[in-house]
């Protein structure tokens, strides 16, 4: 479904990504794990077009999307939940969801989609008239995910969904991610919390300073002594 082929990204003189190649297959949850500055977020930003690439290609559903601007990529069916949630603080929950459906025109389908999001996140329904800035961190994460689902993406890019959340909420968010995946959305997940990420992912890539150092089945990676030592705190 998604293929990155020898992707290079520079920030000024710094090589953020060095020859990254990876694939995401239809229906998978793929996790990207690694330390700070490994290039996890940069990969997501390069896919969604926010960061320009130096060389290499991103192919999505047999189309090269490397040079396509971000707003066009959303229309192709890739939706990103940016790091730090970035909800529209001064809009209500409902308005945030409506913004998520900005590229769609079918009113009744959008309303149905809103109902679906509310069914998935009952907490948002309770808060739907509130301004997004008055929500708690976990609720904002739910809103950001709900908003991204409003464009009915084929591929959902999640950037650090566990950031700044209490362990119980993290577990809740991750089970919701599995539900979203079960209902047919392919997911690419960037996480610091490698334990959680590997527990729900099918496959994973381990990144170090802009290169893929390990890859494979998530269960196997979670059992790999090197990974356990470096990322799982053993």
Partner 1 sequence: MGDFLQQLIGYINPYYLQIFVNIGIGIILALGLNVVTGLTGQLSLGHAAFMSIGAFTSAVLTIKLGMPFSINLLLTGFITAAVAALIGLPILRLTGDYLAICTLGFAEIVKVVFLNLDITNRALGLSVPSANTEIPMPVVVWIVVLLTIVCVTCIHNSRFGRALMAVRGDEIAAEAMGINVTRYKVQSFALGAFIAGVGGGLYAHFMGYINPSDFGFLKSVDILSMVVLGGLGSITGSVIGATILSAAPEFLRFMANYRMLVYGGLLVCMMIFRPNGLMGGTSFTEIVLRALGRKPRLKAIMEQKNSELSRSGNGDT
Interface residue list for partner 1 (CB under 8 A)? 48, 50, 69-71, 74-75, 79-82, 86-91, 94-95, 98-100, 102-103, 115, 118-119, 122, 125-126, 128-129, 147-148, 151
Q: What angle do CA 58, 64, 67 make, to 5 degrees?
A: 80
Residue 227 CB, nearest approach to partner 1 (Å): 30
CB closer to partner 1, 151 vs 193 = 151
Hunting for tokens 């690439």 — which residue is that?
53
Nearer to partner 1, 142 or 218 (CB): 142
Task: Compare residues 70 and 167 and give the one whose CB is closer to partner 1.
Answer: 70
Question: Any idea what the Cα angle at residue 197 is, between residues 21 and 146, rounded to 5°?
Answer: 95
Identity of the residue, 100 or 161, whose beta carbon is nearer to partner 1 in the bound complex = 100
Continuous H helices in 35-182 = 40-48, 70-76, 93-100, 107-120, 122-126, 137-149, 167-182
Work out how close the CB of 154 gets to partner 1 at its nearest, in angstroms, rounded to a whole number: 14
CB of 126 to partner 1, least distance (A): 5
Closest CA to 187 of 196, 197, 195: 197
């Amino acid at each position: 479904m998604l293929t990155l082929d020898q992707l290079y990204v520079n920030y000024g003189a710094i090589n953020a990504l060095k020859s990254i190649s990876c694939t995401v297959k239809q229906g998978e949850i793929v996790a990207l794990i690694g330390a700070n500055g490994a290039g996890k977020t940069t990969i997501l930003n390069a896919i969604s077009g926010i960061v320009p690439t130096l060389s290499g290609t991103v192919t999505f559903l047999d189309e090269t999307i490397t040079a396509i601007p971000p707003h066009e990529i959303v229309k192709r069916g890739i939706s990103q939940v940016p790091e730090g949630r970035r909800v529209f603080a001064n809009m209500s929950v409902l308005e945030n969801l409506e913004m998520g459906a900005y590229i769609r025109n079918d009113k009744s389908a959008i309303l149905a989609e809103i109902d679906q999001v509310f069914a998935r996140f009952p907490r948002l329904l309770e808060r739907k008239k509130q301004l997004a800035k008055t929500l708690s961190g976990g609720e904002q994460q739910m809103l950001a995910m709900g908003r991204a689902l409003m464009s009915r993406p084929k591929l959902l890019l999640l950037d650090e969904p566990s950031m700044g959340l209490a362990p119980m909420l993290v577990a809740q968010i991750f089970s919701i991610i599995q539900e979203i995946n079960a209902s047919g959305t392919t997911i690419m997940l960037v996480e610091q919390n490698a334990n959680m990420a590997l527990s729900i992912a099918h496959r994973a890539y381990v990144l170090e300073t802009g290169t893929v150092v390990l890859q494979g089945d998530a269960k196997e990676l979670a059992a790999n002594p090197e990974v356990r030592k470096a990322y799982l705190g053993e």
